[in-house]
Structure 1
Amino acid sequence: MKTLIIAGSQRAESQSARLAGEMNRRFFDGEAELLNLADKPLPEWDGTGFDRDDVKSVKAKVAAADALVLLVPEWNGMAPSSVKNFFLWCGAAELAHKPALLVAVSAGTGGAYIINEMRTSSYKNCRLLYLPEHLIYRDAANLWTADAPTKSDDYLQNRTAFVVGLLRAYAHALKPVQQLARDTQGDFANGMS
């Protein structure tokens, strides 16, 4: 299974990027591809530039993935613009009927608003399929950093392993559906509101 882990923060050296690396190491044996939105791999969306090499490169990475993991930081109860920008550039051609695991990243005790926002506003036209399960990494700066794992570290280690197992099962089961959906959507390229 080809997995693309997307660190959604715009900040260099963010907790989202650190935790994306930790997830890759702990749950994907370091074999997932990482896309760090802080590296500005996509220009700001303005409705033009579809033939730009940087845009084509990101779209190719997304299209090649069988599954996605999206680590989205919560900033003032919202997703950062870098994540919204990603969804403006990548659509159904890259994402249709592809399973994705949502991971909210919070510096404090939040994170739930991100799950709601992403499920509400990011899947419609691209047809991305979020797993019913999700993760919320709270107190992110202290997760998986101590020499001795905390109770929270252990719980999130086990829950993440469980959800990544589901992601793999979804990716395997949905592979034939993805091509069928892209081939037959025709006049129905945008979701219904």
Structure 2
Amino acid sequence: MKIGIICGSQRVKSQTSKVGLYIQQTLNSQDVNTFLLDLGKQPLANFDDSFWYEKQGSLQTAWQPIAKELQSCDGFIVLTPDWHGMVPSCLKNFFLFSSAAEMANKPGLIVAISASVGGYLPVAELRISSYKNNRICWIPDHIIVRNVKLCMNDTNPPENQDDIYIRTRLQHSINLLTEYAKALSAVRNSQVADYKTYQYGM
């Protein structure tokens, strides 16, 4: 089992990155392999149509090592901060690069990050607009880490009841994600999907 973790903040040092590292450590402690892509530390250039027409161009050259890692993943955890009620542009840009080759019929868990009590609008945005062509399968569960500065810090025991709750709730959703990953492997192995003929979703 291998899970890709996409940290969708453009900041080099972010609360999103902090939570992403916590998730990676949690998965690794359960003998789950991980691939972590932090878009603040490893930014992608802005997508444009040269990606399609220049097979040896700079965009393809930068994307191919990431694509190879994504292709080897069985599922994904995508973290987004709440910026003015929106998903940051770097994460939207990531989904412009991604295709069915990397993500089709693999489960995804959305984890939204809020410094206060927001976070629900980026969840809705990802569910509406990010899956059409890459065919990622968002699972029904999602997580919103509110008041994130008080959660998932390097403290033992956790700092407060909200921190304890969100950690246990996150573990529940991770458990669901890994079961979805096992189940959806049957869909991928069936080869029923014809994404050469139907490359784009409707």
Into which bin does the TM-score normalised by the smaller protein fall?
Answer: over 0.9
The answer for the alignment partner of 1:71 in structure 2 is 79
Distance 2:168 2:175 in 1: 11
* Aligned residues: CA RMSD: 1.7
The answer to whether 1:123 aligns with 2:131 is yes
Pair 1:99–1:153, CA change in 2 (3 A): same
AA aligned opposite 1:154: I
Distance (Å, rounded) in 1 between the aligned partners of 2:2 and 2:171: 17
* 1:190 aligned onto 2:192: no
Q: 1:31 to 1:188 in 2, by over 3 A?
A: closer
Unpaired runs of at least 5, structure 2: none
Which residue number in structure 1 is paired with residue 26 of structure 2? Answer: 26
The question of whether the paired residues in 1 share the 8 Å contact of 2:27 and 2:33 is answered with: no
In structure 1, the partner of 2:70 is 62
Mapping of residues 128-147 of structure 1, within 5 Å: 128-145=136-153, 146-147=155-156
2:49 equivalent in structure 1: 47
The letter for the 2-side match of 1:72 is: T
SS at match of 1:104: strand
Query: Could you tell me the percent identity over the aligned residues?
Result: 35
- 1:84 corresponds to which residue? 92
- Structure-2 separation of matches of 1:155 and 1:99: 24
- Give the Cα separation in 1 of the matches to 2:48 and 2:178: 35
Q: Aligned-pair distance for 1:53?
A: 2.2
Q: Secondary structure at the match of 1:110?
A: coil
CA distance in 2, matches of 1:122, 1:58: 18
Specify the alignment match of 2:16 in structure 1: 16
Structure 1 gaps of 5+ residues are none
Q: Is the 1:71–1:102 contact (alpha carbons within 8 Å) kept by the matching residues of 2? A: yes
Tell me how far apart the structure 2 counterparts of residues 159 and 130 of structure 1 sit (CA, whole Å).
Answer: 17
TM-score between both structures, scaled by the size of structure 2: 0.89
Given the two structures, how large is their TM-score scaled by the length of structure 1?
A: 0.93
Displacement of 1:41 in angstroms is: 4.2
Q: Is the 8 A contact 1:73 1:80 kept in 2?
A: yes
Pairwise CA distance, 1:182 = 7.3
2:95 and 2:115 map into 1 onto residues whose CA distance is 24
